[in-house]
Amino acid sequence: MSVSGVTLTAGITTSIWGALQVILVIILSFAVLTLIASFIRYQLVIHRMRTADPGELNPADVFKLQIIERLGIVQRDVQPVSVMFVSPYGLAGIIDEHGSEIEDRVLNALEESIRAGIRKKDFFMRYDKRIFGLVISSWEDGAGKMASRIVERISRQPLRCAGNITLRIPVNIGMATYPENTERGSDLVAMAMESLDNAFEAGPGQHRTASLHNENDSADNKPSEKEETSADQKGIVDDLTGVLKEDRLETALQKYVALYRKVDLPVSVLYLSIDNISRYLDNYGRKSVDTILRGIGLILTSQTRESDLISRYGESDFILAMDCVPAEALVAAQRLSAIVKRAPFKLDRSNLRVSLSIGVAGFPDHGKTPRALFEGAETAVQHASNKGGNLCLQYHHGMKNIHEEDGRLVDTF
């Protein structure tokens, strides 16, 4: 190759390298300018939110500010941030029963209950009318455990609302975590809200994460799960009342009581008996009894939690097991009794009205075995019936077993 050719090649190489250097400088400069502009925008958003009149900021802006401040712009060490939304399940039914003025009382009591169960460093606020927002520094696993504690705590402890009203209402939770679910802070709120919707679809007292939702979508479809659940329930649910069949009660109650005894938590058994059911049979026929039983079954399934055990017992009685102390179970019994008493049971052109006698017994106050709790609740309901019915009584050891007084033997488990 000639000297002139080598010189030409070297010149071209130098020119290309020079051009690459210019391009690299432009790219780096653009990246730096982008970071600076992003940082300036971030600071402007923070400044606008902090200096704005409180009345000008809506709750969503305040909530977003907390997320932005925790995430920052550039993080050398990734710190987790979890966003959680908490909302009561079944509030509309409570409003229908107690009136619109109960809504604020329930939400205020729920807010106090949630605040009492979270850490001081966690940010908590009313995000929307019926939704509470939480921003916590925790990975998805820790956030899930916290959600479980909140759901369990609120489901176990009745809310004491203003006006001396005590209610038990489950909550549902949706959550998303940075960076496990998304690396974009702007997506956290949307993903957590979507997870809350998924929790409501699953039923009361449920919590869902963004990643869990995605895994379920790819692995199992919901119609198949529902079909499987329906298939599992065949043969164990009473066709007339929609609750557990009597022949399944003994095993189910033993497992239910054992579950809570194992962790030393209270559990109560309620024995519900329809007052004077034979009169309806004599005056209106078998159809009237079936109508009443079907109606009460619907009330029990709609007014209790998924975690409660409901079973038919005998011809016209029901057994209900709840994870609470007897005093709380007695309040629940009184509420159910009032609902049943107000309910019209339609038979042709007539509205039948009935009342309940309910006996309550609980672990550890009245016994340690399912048999002891059942017999205590049965004794209490017999006393309630003998006093004229339409009465809820809590068992105490001073009560004598009416069956023994009458000299009759009862075949109970």
- HSE of 215, CA atoms in CB hemisphere, 13 A: 6
3-state secondary structure the chain: CCHHHHHHHHHHHHHHHHHHHHHHHHHHHHHHHHHHHHHHHHHHHHHHHHHCCCCCCCHHHHHHHHHHHHHCCCCCCCCCEEEEEEEECCHHHHHHHHCCCHHHHHHHHHHHHHHHCCCCCCEEEEEECCEEEEEECCCHHHHHHHHHHHHHHHHHCCEEECCCEEECCCEEEEEEEECCCCCCHHHHHHHHHHHHHHHHHHCCCCEEEHHHHHHHHHHCCHHHHHHHHHHHHCCCECCCCCCECHHHHHHHHHHHHHHHHHCCCCEEEEEEEECCHHHHHHHHCHHHHHHHHHHHHHHHHHHCCCCCEEEEECCCEEEEEECCCHHHHHHHHHHHHHHHHHCCEEECCEEECCCEEEEEEEECCCCCCHHHHHHHHHHHHHHHHHCCCCCEEECCCCCCCHHHHHCCCCCCC
> Whose CA is closest to 246, among 374, 372, 334, 335?
374
The pLDDT assigned to 121 comes to: 79
**pLDDT for 32:** 54
* pLDDT, position 231: 37
Neighbouring C-beta atoms of residue 48, cutoff 10 Å: 13
Task: Say if strands 207-209 and 171-178 run parallel, antiparallel, or are unpaired.
Answer: parallel
Residues across the chain: 413
State residue 72's pLDDT score: 59
CATH number of 75-228: 3.30.70.270
Structure confidence at residue 405 (pLDDT)? 40
Give the CATH class of 246-406.
Answer: alpha beta
Which residues contact residue 370 at a Cβ distance below 8 angstroms, ignoring those fewer than 6 apart?
250, 253, 254, 256, 257, 269, 413
Residue keyed to tokens 């009591």:
109
| Predicted pLDDT at 195 | 92
Q: Give yes or no for a contact between 85 and 133, defined as CB atoms under 8 angstroms apart.
A: yes
Q: Which of these, 156, 123, 139, 148, lies nearest to 208 by C-alpha position?
A: 148
Q: pLDDT tens, position by position, for the chain (413 residues)?
A: 554 555 555 556 666 666 667 677 666 665 555 545 544 444 444 455 445 454 555 677 778 777 777 765 434 445 788 999 999 988 888 888 888 888 998 999 999 988 888 877 788 999 888 999 999 888 888 888 889 888 888 877 778 887 778 888 889 999 998 888 887 776 888 899 999 998 888 888 899 998 643 333 333 443 343 334 343 444 688 989 989 999 999 989 998 888 888 778 899 999 999 999 989 988 888 999 999 999 999 999 888 877 789 999 998 999 999 989 999 999 999 999 999 999 989 888 888 999 999 999 999 889 889 999 999 999 999 999 999 999 999 998 888 655 444 433 333 33
Q: What are the start and end residues of each CATH 3.30.70.270 domain in the chain?
A: 75-228, 246-406
Q: State phi, psi for 323 to the nearest 5 degrees.
A: -90, 75
pLDDT at 225: 39
Contacts of 308 (CB under 8 A, 6+ apart): 320, 321, 322, 323
